[in-house]
Amino acid sequence: MAETTYVEAIRQGIWEEMERDDTVFVMGEDVAVYGGAFKITKGMLERFGELRVVDTPLAESGIVGAGTGAAINGLRPVLEMQFADFMACGFDQITNFAAKCRYRWGQAIPMVIRAPAGGNIHGGPFHSQNVEMPYVHTPGLKVVQPSTAYDAKGLIKAAIRDDDPVIFLEHKYLYRSVKEELPTQEYTVPIGEAGVRREGSDISIISYGWMVHVALEAAENAAEEGISVEVLDLRTLVPLDRQAILDTAKKTSKVVLLHEDTLTGGLGGELAGIISEHAFDYLDGPLVRIAAPDTPVPFSDTLERAFLPSVEDVVAKVRWLHRF
Amino acid sequence: MSTPAVAHLQTKFDRDLCERFHYYMLLMRELEDRIENKLYRQGKVVGGCYTGRGQEAIPVGSAILSRPGDWLTPSHRDMAALLIRGITPEEILAQYMGRATGLTKGRDGNMHMGCAERHCVPIISSIGASIPIAGGLAFAMRYRGESNVVFNYSGDGASSRGDWHEGLNMAAVMNLPIVYLCNNNLYAYSTPLDKQMKVADIADRVAGYGIPAEIVNGNDVLAIYEASKRAVEHARAGKGPYFIECKTFRMSGHSAHDPADYVPNQLREEWSRKDPILMLQKYMVENLGADEQDFVDMRKRVLDKISGAVEWALEQPFPDPATLEDDVYAPA
């Protein structure tokens, strides 16, 4: 059976939800005739028509506002931000209005904002950022980032069915670099559940997005040195699967917190807080953060490779932590 | 694209409609007066306190045309729009007092209230943000093939925000059924119009988006009604958005704490002679056989209603701190 790429998995997920529920529509820049900058919405205009596949002017705040208004009035918008970086232009609409509607006036906003994120594609400072944290820090939003094609399809479907606004971060490097056989029967992946990608007993690496694959490769290398590494893929950043985080921390007693986002104010600090508050007595070593340095994402190959956490970086930290 | 102001009324207004105008304008005026000049000073209303004194004609002359399926996005100077949609003085007062039975259950204050059942979106404090929201509400109407429309309210200040421009442009391109009512009250907080924009009228800005815009006397409820009727018919007929610039004046500070010393006295005096309620009363006396006693009776009716509502609101419970973390997300 043919393997499905991450990008195609997202496309299939949206497509199936549009077939299933005629209140679901897609809106964004270049999503209709062009099929989206990354071709996620390719073919949808022909299948679902221009009422449900909507090209907009270049106006991220306008798009998010229109999506929110449509959600208030009974629809389920799936909005595309051409790059996650430009979601900043709609930041006020997302954080000051959409996120607060349920709390202020009991109004559900069943809306998905899809945002291609992440580096390793030579995108430079405006097309490579990992922008999750401002949204993670906004009560009322859910934040998701799949690392596999299976999860990408299952999570986009769950996000579309969710009654809260969901920031759906897609990793651009994974779009065409990961693929797998997907089940023929319908499935969803629940928001809020992490997944153990590799069982291990000496050290846990907690990560998400592309870095899960870096962690898995590092684990493979560490195994050759006799270090058994467990890899936990968060999949959802809000709400965090605290149980899974604490379970793996208690199991191995040594934890590496790995993300592609920059260090200061990154999710690693939050995870360290949770573990030290609730599993401190289980720890046999310091909580170790591995993240990109606190700089903009650089363009040139040598700089970007130095910026992104590498397999070698992870193996070195794992080796160091193992000595405790 | 701009349509010139219509100077002469086309409609023959009957007494019944004018009494409804009068009732809602007076109710808004007196309710806001009680809130700002009594309850706020007595410490029974805390936080900010924004009124639409002198601007009552704008929400009344327009929202009165709304149908149940329409949606409204009122600004903080459009209390009458909420009243017309059936939101009661009791609910408004409980909101202002931060009580559990207020429309936001004490989670938000003052005019920051709305109601999904009555199709009123609460104000978004980042002024101008409601313009794209109106677009989405209207998009869903067109999606389902309805003839409903959105009434969007904002002021001159909003027209300098990026959202205002993004929202108007998208609505025009998508031909969405929206009636924009802009209260141009000459000041954005303390900043006068000539420091906000270089063109004479906000309608000039609108013309750039290919949306028909007309300018009306914002203190004349009859003129606003007529313009709104034209606008609503235009939007319901699928002809797209329509913009009404209502020239008016804020007869208060930006909020209760603001004495508005920056406003020249002459301007205030000039506009006090154009009070929208007095204007309507004059019309009713000259054309519909109303007399001073009718207005005294009506005012008493309104004041009694408000007093009853205040009494009720003061008895309402404050929210239970145990509910602090409720309703951030959908129930699992």
The verdict on B91 touching A (C-beta cutoff 8 Å) is: no
Chain centroid to Cα B35, Å, comes to 17
Kindly compute the dihedral angle of the four CA atoms of residues A204, A208, A211, A212, in this order, to the nearest 10 degrees.
60
Fold of A195-322: Rossmann fold (3.40.50)
CATH number at residue B104: 3.40.50.970
CA distances from A262 to A127, A309, B188 (A): 15, 10, 39
User: Which pair of tokens denotes residue A18?
Assistant: 């549009």
Residue with the two structure tokens 């059942």: B117
Which letter, b or e, does each residue of A245-265 get, where b requires 16 or more Cβ atoms within 10 Å of its Cβ?
bbbbbbbbbbbbbbbbbbeee
Q: Where are the domains of chain A?
A: 4-180, 195-322
Which pLDDT score is estimated for B11? 84
Alpha carbons B322 and B309: distance in angstroms, whole number: 27
Q: Could you tell me if B222 and B277 are in contact, meaning their C-beta atoms sit under 8 angstroms apart?
A: no
Judged by CB atoms closer than 8 Å, whether chains meet at B329 and A59 is answered as no
User: Which pLDDT does position B8 carry in this prediction?
Assistant: 66
* Number of domains forming the structure of chain B: 1
> b or e along B138-163 (b: 16 or more beta carbons within 10 Å of the residue's beta carbon)?
bbbbbbeeeebbbbbbbbbbbbbbbb
Asked if A4-180 and A195-322 have one fold, the answer is yes
- 3-state SS, B252-314, equals CCCCCCCCCCCCCHHHHHHHHCCCHHHHHHHHHHHHHCCCHHHHHHHHHHHHHHHHHHHHHHH
E strands of chain A, at which residues?
4-5, 24-28, 53-55, 76-80, 112-117, 142-144, 166-171, 179-180, 195-198, 203-207, 229-233, 236-238, 255-262, 288-292
Q: Which residues contact A148 (CB under 8 A, 6 or more apart)?
A: A6, A178, A180
Instruction: Determine which of A50, A93, A105, A164 to mutate to test the interface with B (most B C-beta atoms within 10 Å).
Output: A105
> Smallest Cα–Cα separation from B244: which of B183, B188, B303, B316?
B183
- Interchain CB distance below 8 Å, A62 and B115: no
Cis peptide upstream of residue A239 (ω within 30 degrees of 0): yes
Taking the Cβ of residue B170 and every Cβ of chain A, the question of whether any pair is shorter than 8 Å is answered with yes
How close does chain B come to A238, measured CA to CA in Å? 11
Q: What are all long-range contacts of B289-294, with beta carbons under 8 Å and residues at least 24 apart?
A: B289/B15, B290/B15, B290/B18
Instruction: Give a yes or no: residue B237 inside a domain.
Output: yes
Average pLDDT across chain B, whole number: 95
pLDDT at residue B3 in the model: 41
Nearest to A59 among B125, B138, B170 (CB): B170
Nearest by CB to residue B132, choosing from A69, A139, A163, is A69
Domain membership flag for residue B230: yes
Residues in B touching A52 (Cβ below 8 Å)? 143
Instruction: Specify the pTM.
Output: 0.96
Active site residues of A: 127
Contact A57 B124 (CB under 8 A): no
Does the beta-carbon distance from A96 to B116 stay under 8 Å? no
**Helix, strand or coil, per DSSP, at residue A245:** helix
Task: Inspect the interface and report whether the beta carbons of B143 and A96 lie closer than 8 Å.
Answer: no
Is B324 part of the contact surface with chain A (CB cutoff 8 Å)? no
Token digits of residue B6:
């219509």
More confident residue, A158 or B46: A158
Quick check: B1 pLDDT over 70? no
Per-residue pLDDT of chain A (324 residues; tens, 9 = 90+): 799 999 999 999 999 999 999 999 999 999 999 999 999 999 999 999 999 999 999 999 999 999 999 999 999 999 999 999 999 999 999 999 999 999 999 999 999 999 999 999 999 999 999 999 999 999 999 999 999 999 999 999 999 999 999 999 999 999 999 999 999 999 999 999 999 999 999 999 999 999 999 999 999 999 999 999 999 999 999 999 999 999 999 999 999 999 999 999 999 999 999 999 999 999 999 999 999 999 999 999 999 999 999 999 999 999 999 999
Query: What is the per-residue pLDDT for B9?
Result: 79
Q: Which helix (H) or strand (E) holds B242?
A: strand B242-247
Nearest CA in chain B to A166: B329
- Rounded to an integer, the average pLDDT of B4-26 is 84
Cα–Cα distance list, B127 to A262, B36, B153, B159 (Å): 33, 22, 10, 9
Q: How far apart are CA B131 and CA B171, in angstroms?
A: 9
Q: Is the ipTM of this complex over 0.90?
A: yes
Number of H-type helices and E-type strands within chain B? 11, 7
Say if the Cβ atoms of B330 and A140 lie within 8 Å. Answer: no
In a domain, B9, yes or no: no
Burial degree of B126 (CB within 10 A; 0-12, 13-18, 19+): middle
With beta carbons less than 8 A apart as the criterion, state whether B185 and B156 touch: yes
Question: In the predicted model, what is the mean pLDDT of residues B44-53?
Answer: 92
What percentage of chain B has pLDDT greater than the value 70?
98
Structural domain range at position B270? 15-312
Q: In the predicted model, is pLDDT for residue B6 greater than 60?
A: no
- Which of A52, A42, A50, A1 minimizes the C-alpha distance to A22? A52
**CA angle B327–B328–B331, rounded 5-degree value:** 55
Yes or no: say if B128 and B196 are a contact pair by the CB < 8 Å rule. no
Architecture of the A4-180 domain: 3-Layer(aba) Sandwich (3.40)
Cross-chain CB nearest to B136 (options A69, A104, A105): A69
The predicted pLDDT at position B7 comes to 54
Instruction: Give the residue from chain A lying closest to B106, CA to CA.
Output: A104
Q: Which residue has the higher pLDDT, B235 or B2?
A: B235
- For residue B300, give every residue at least 6 positions away whose Cβ sits within 8 Å of its Cβ, in sequence order, or none: none
Q: Would the CB atoms of B330 and A51 count as touching at under 8 Å? A: no
Each residue's pLDDT tens digit, B264-298: 999 999 999 999 999 999 999 999 999 999 999 99
The shortest CB-CB distance from B71 to any of A54, A68, A73 is to A73
* Interfacial residues of A (vs B; Cβ cutoff 8 Å): 25, 51-52, 54, 56-57, 59, 61-75, 77, 92-93, 96-97, 102-108, 139-140, 142, 162-164, 239
pLDDT at B151: 98
Single-letter code of the amino acid located at B234 = H
Contact list, B166 vs chain A (CB under 8 Å): 57, 59, 61-62, 65
Helix (H, G, I), strand (E, B) or coil at B187: strand
Task: Tell me, yes or no, whether B329 lies in a domain.
Answer: no
How far are the Cα atoms of A28, A89, B109, B130, B173 from residue A56, in angstroms, in the given order? 6, 15, 35, 18, 9
Tell me the C-alpha distance between A65 and A88, whole Å: 13
Among chain B residues, CA nearest to A99: B328
Query: What residues of A are in contact with residue B174 (Cβ under 8 Å)?
Result: 54
Compute the nearest-CA separation of B46 from chain A (Å): 18
**pLDDT band, residue B4 (cuts 50/70/90):** very low
